[in-house]
Amino acid sequence: MTYMEEQQNNLIQSNANEPEFIQAATEVLQSLEPVIQKHSKYRESAILERLIEPDRQIKFRVTWTDDKGNIRINRGYRVQFNHAIGPYKGGLRFHPTVNFSIVKFLGFEQIFKNSLTGLPIGGGKGGSDFDPKGKSEREIMNFCQSFMTELYRHIGANTDVPAGDIGVGSREIGYLFGQYKRLCNQHTGVLTGKNLSYGGSLVRKESTGYGVLYFLDAMLKASGKSIEGKTFVISGSGNVAIYACQKAQEMGGKVVTMSDSSGWIYDPDGIELEVIKELKEVTQRRIADYKAYRPNAVYHEGTGIWNTPCDIALPCATQNELLLSDAKELVKNGVIAVSEGANMPCNLDAVHYFQSNKVLFSPGKASNAGGVAVSALEMAQNSIRYSWSFEKTDRKLNQIMKDIFEKVSNAAEEYGLPGNYVAGANIAGFIKVADAMLAQGLF
Ligand code: NDP
């Protein structure tokens, strides 16, 4: 058995009930084979073995009361995966599907993503199986306060800086931050994604979606193509999807679909984003209601969004939302590029299919890194107690995404895999973290 096969076996045996984590780590292990072969120092120092095991994983009970006075119990999680290059950094997800497998896959991806940004942030992730949908403001506040009453002892501006993710937006961050301050009596940058009035950064809201388009633009240009005039299929209608749609339209693309967990809409005239924002950001309604505003649009219940012909697909909802059968449909209909806005939205088979059919493909850890990049810029602004303008922050974001593309592309070239941005992202992200681990002695 080769060393890499041994790693793969260990991964599967030690994490048997964590399919999403195994999926994310398998992809990275596959990419790293040439790096491990070339540099024996990583093997000799057991870097892979250490990377795959989180520094620390915390699970706690969250007890809160609902509006009827009932006592409710949820599970809270924080995985502090790796802090070789900076404090742990990664979002909190509130969704009924959250468990250790989900949090570990997200935290693991975050190590490499954060490394690619070039900023000093380590990898972590957390959340709860609490579902904010259908809860009152008071219930959400009760939950967030109780969640932070345990989490606060594990985090800090120089230790671990959580942010939002699915189900955690600026409202939840506000309640979490308020409780942290109440407990610690410190107004520090312990969370990112804060409102502008108390330490948030301009462009944070837009950053992940905009970043996806800045990366896509660089990837297309490197192949002599452009966004102008292209038809986009975007899934999701949350934070990432909305601002990916906005930037795609600004850059001359036509977006014809968006979705939520109930179904998806097709608008042949192009998505009217103000309607989506009204439904999703203001009134918290279902995407099915879009049709009432745009009579030419068609609503489909359930899945099927990837059957829509397009040039570019941006999966921006959740993990494993685009499978091999979807990839085949997209390729059959002539897709030229797929950029992941969500984390691991395409399963491994779908990714391999895109690559073997010469579709330009960017993994989430590269193309959606704009969110955490601006989070790190929020930390920097908090440290110097200053705020940068929208234009300045957006310029920095754009440059960071172009730099990520260069790093990913160069790493792929260097290891004889030109155009394989999955391998490039894993290799470039890994080398920085691995070298920092080597420099700091055994931990
Ligand atoms: P939001 O909660 O704002 O939106 C999530 C969207 O995905 C909603 O439209 C939601 O529909 C849909 N969705 C969620 N779960 C499912 C599911 N199981 N099946 C189908 N649709 C689903 O989250 P974000 O936009 O912030 O995050 C989206 C993705 O991007 C996640 O993978 C996240 O980890 C990733 N990401 C987010 C970053 C950020 O800055 N926000 C940064 C980097 C990555 P519904 O409303 O019906 O639940």
Residue range 37-50, pLDDT digits in tens: 999 999 999 999 99
Domain identity same for 247 and 131: no
Distance 277 CA to ligand 1 centre (A): 15
CATH of the domain at 130: 3.40.50.10860
Atom 23 of ligand 1: nearest residue by CA position: 166
Q: 316: CA distance to ligand 1 center in Å?
A: 7
Quote the pLDDT of residue 152: 98
Separation CA 15–CA 17 (nearest Å): 6
Same domain, 164 and 303: no
Q: Are residues 218 and 360 in the same domain?
A: yes
Would you give the distance in Å from CA 283 to the centre of its chain? 25
State the average pLDDT over residues 88-108: 98
Contact 252, 229 (CB under 8 A): yes
Do 178 and 281 sit in the same domain of this protein? Answer: no
User: What angle do the packed helices 204-222 and 239-250 form, to 10 degrees?
Assistant: 50
pLDDT of residue 379: 97
For residue 88, name the pLDDT band (cuts at 50, 70, 90). Answer: very high
- Number of structural domains (the chain) is 2
Same domain, 255 and 355: yes
Query: How far, in Å, CA of 224 to CA of 67, rounded?
Result: 57
Residue 397 lies in a domain: no
Shared-domain flag, residues 222 and 170: no
The number of the ligand 1 atom at minimal distance from the alpha carbon of 106 is 34
Looking at the fold, whether 92 and 219 belong to one and the same domain comes out as no
Residues above pLDDT 70, as percent of the chain:
100
Ligand 1 midpoint to CA 256 (Å): 19
Domain end, chosen from 321, 350, 367, is at 367
Q: Among 130, 154, 187, where does a domain finish?
A: 187
125 among known catalytic residues: yes
Residue 192 covered by a domain: no
- Please name the residue whose Cα sits nearest to atom 32 of ligand 1: 342
Residues 73 and 163 in one domain: yes
**For the domain that residue 268 is a member of, what is the CATH number?**
3.40.50.720
Catalytic one of 89, 113, 125, 407:
125
Is 22 part of any domain?
A: no
Residue 93 and residue 144 share a domain:
yes
Q: Is 232 within a domain? A: yes
Residue 143: per-residue pLDDT:
98
Q: Note the pLDDT of residue 219.
A: 98
Mean pLDDT for the chain?
Answer: 97
CB 220 within 8 A of CB 226: yes
Q: What is the pLDDT of residues 252-277, one digit of tens each?
A: 999 999 999 999 999 999 999 999 99
Do the domain assignments include residue 283? yes
Q: Is residue 213 part of a domain?
A: yes
The rounded distance, in Å, linking the Cα atoms of 290 and 195 is 28
Q: Taking residues 107-120, report their average pLDDT.
A: 98
The Cα-based distances of 394 to 47, 265, 389 in angstroms read 35, 30, 8
Judgement on whether residues 178 and 211 belong to the same structural domain of the protein? no
Identify whether residues 240 and 182 lie together within a single domain: no
The 10s digit of each residue's pLDDT in 361-419 is: 999 999 999 999 999 999 999 999 999 999 999 999 999 999 999 999 999 999 999 99
301 shares a domain with 338: yes
pLDDT given for residue 93 in this prediction? 98
* pLDDT class of 178 with cuts at 50, 70, 90: very high
Ligand 1 neighbours (beta carbon < 6 A): 164-167, 208, 236-241, 260-262, 316-318, 321, 341-343, 368, 371
Split at pLDDT 50, 70, 90, the class of 57 is very high
Residue 151 lies in a domain: yes
Residue range(s) defining the domain that contains residue 293: 207-367
Nearest CA to ligand 1 atom 35: 342
What's the average model confidence in pLDDT over 129-158? 97
> Region 2-21: what's the mean pLDDT?
97
CA 235 to ligand 1 centroid distance, Å: 9
What is each CA distance from 360 to 82, 215, 248, in whole angstroms? 30, 12, 17
Q: What is the torsional sign of CA 258, 263, 267, 271?
A: negative
Of 367, 384, 412, which residue constitutes the final position of a domain? 367
Give the global pTM. 0.97
